[in-house]
Structure 1
């Protein structure tokens, strides 16, 4: 996987250097938890610019694995 795109509340973010299944599991566990959890992502393109998104029930999250060939 080259990177993982995250669509969160209609905005696109990305994560690199992580396994897509591990990210999905982290999101699932966070949403099921009684404690709000932050997920570190990148916003924009080019130079890394950190953003933290709050994972809570009711907020739409999509996980899209992007292969090196895409």
Structure 2
């Protein structure tokens, strides 16, 4: 089963059985249409409850493709941060 994590308004939500591509298209189409649209997601841990996120132009939303079958990789701080060198 696939899972997508979503951060909206600083709170975490999830979606299951969707692809990143289909979710990105749905969000992009809603924002481009300029008409507010509700996106149904899961809220809570253990016992999920429906939550509805309002998608409109300028909505700040992050989606994360959770890949449970990939090995965890530990990165050093040098690998996770790239400084903007202006010197």
Normalising by the residue count of structure 1, what TM-score does the alignment of the two structures yield? 0.88
Give 2:17's aligned residue: 17
Higher RCO (CA 8 Å, separation ≥ 6 residues): 1
Stretches of structure 1 that go unaligned for 5 or more consecutive residues are none
CA–CA distance in structure 2, aligned partners of residues 66 and 49 of structure 1: 20
CA–CA distance in structure 1, aligned partners of residues 69 and 30 of structure 2: 31
Over aligned residue pairs, what C-alpha RMSD do you find? 1.4
Larger Rg: 2
Cα distance, 1:33 vs structure 2: 1.0
CA–CA distance in structure 1, aligned partners of residues 31 and 40 of structure 2: 15
Would you identify which runs of 4 or more consecutive aligned residues in structure 1 move more than 6 Å?
none
Q: Which has the larger strand fraction?
A: 1
Matched pairs, number: 70
Normalising by the residue count of structure 2, what TM-score does the alignment of the two structures yield? 0.73
Give 1:62's aligned residue: 62
